[in-house]
Each structure stands twice: as structure tokens, then as C-alpha cells.
Amino acid sequence: MGAALALFDEQGYDETTVADIAARAGLTRRTFFRYFPDKREVLFSGAEHLEQVFAEAVKQAPEAASPMQALRAGLCAAGDVFAGVHPYARVRARVIAANPELQERELIKLERLASKVAEALEGRQATPRLALLTADIGVRVFHRAFAEWVANGDPDALGPMTARMLDELGELWDT
């Protein structure tokens, strides 16, 4: 809902009531809660799509690919999802950064994403233990790369930024 994002950005999240959002969108409070289970959820409507793309790319990776290689494929696909929405992502990130409640919601979305990816990895060769670990770490790398991308990255290069960060992470063990 664009109305909500605009209001959050203009006057802050806490200062914006659901009634405000509904009013600007030409709705009632009650109706708002039919579209979104709660106030925060407005900012996370694309989450399922991301989950789906990421997990699908992991599943579609070549048969011979290792978990890490499958993960990399997923990360690149996930990066593509955000093509063209860099400006929107900036505003959204600013709003979220300003509010702990929203950060909480963001984090649990990541957790859900990780569990979907773990599922996809299990559908290949990985043991549950390592699938969970690999997925979790992959998603966190995505999260950090996303933060850098929003802050100062090339709008069209989220995927590459993520892949690079994954490499850098692997090198941390070589000391």
C-alpha cells in the first residue's frame, strides 16, 4: 500500500494510525485489517514472492551443484527481484530503520525465507542440519548485501554484490 509508506515516511510510523492510512487510501480501519493482518505487514507484501523465487532457483540449480553453489544461484535470482525498485527500497529501508517494531518484522521475514530455502536445499542433497545452516547464512549474506545496496550500491547490481559478499565470507576461514 503506497498510502501507508508515504505516511510513514512523512510523519513517522508511530505517529501514523491505521485510521490515517485507511483514510488516505479511501477505506475503513476494518477494511484495512482485511487486507493486512496488522499494521506492520503493509511494508512486507512482496515477501512471499521473494521466497518463491529464491527457493525455486535453489531447486533448479544443476544436479551436480553443491549446496553452496545452489545457494549462490538462489542469491542471484533473489537479487534480480529488486531490479528497478532501488528508490522505493531506499524509502522503505529508511522507514524500517527508524522503528524497532518494523525491524522485528523484517527479521522474522528473513527467518521464513531461510526456512523455505532450507527446504529447497533438503530437496537436493543436503542433510537437514547443514541445509538449515547454509540457508540461514545465505539469507543473512543477502540481508547484509541488501543493506549495502540500499545505502550506496549500483541499483542494478544487487545480485553481484551479494555473490561477492558470499565469496568474501568464505575467505574469512583462510587465516
**How far, in Å, CA of 156 to CA of 35, rounded?**
31
User: Which of 22, 141, 150, 158 is the binder for a copy of itself (CB under 8 A)?
Assistant: 141
CB of residue 62 vs DNA: minimum separation in angstroms?
Answer: 41
User: Which of 105, 149, 159, 161 is the binder for a copy of itself (CB under 8 A)?
Assistant: 105
Site for a copy of itself in 54-73 (CB under 8 A): 66-69
**How far, in Å, CA of 85 to CA of 173, rounded?**
35
Site for a copy of itself in 107-136 (CB under 8 A): 107-108, 110-111, 129-130, 132-134, 136
User: Which of 89, 93, 137, 157 is the binder for a copy of itself (CB under 8 A)?
Assistant: 137
CB of residue 121 vs DNA: minimum separation in angstroms?
Answer: 32
Retrieve residue 43's grid coordinates.
511494508
Reference 82, options 146, 135, 143; nearest CA is: 146
Residue 80's binding partner out of a copy of itself, DNA, none, with CB under 5 to 8 Å set by partner kind? none
CB of residue 124 vs a copy of itself: minimum separation in angstroms?
Answer: 13
Site for a copy of itself in 2-41 (CB under 8 A): none
Residue 87's binding partner out of DNA, a copy of itself, none, with CB under 5 to 8 Å set by partner kind? none
Residues that bind DNA (CB under 7 A): 16-19, 26-31, 33-35, 37-40
Element (H, E) at 66: none
H-helix segments, the chain: 2-11, 18-25, 29-35, 47-60, 67-81, 86-97, 100-122, 128-152, 158-171
Q: Give the HSE-up count for residue 166: Cα atoms under 13 Å, Cβ half-sphere.
A: 25
Residue 140's binding partner out of a copy of itself, DNA, none, with CB under 5 to 8 Å set by partner kind? a copy of itself
The length of the chain is 175
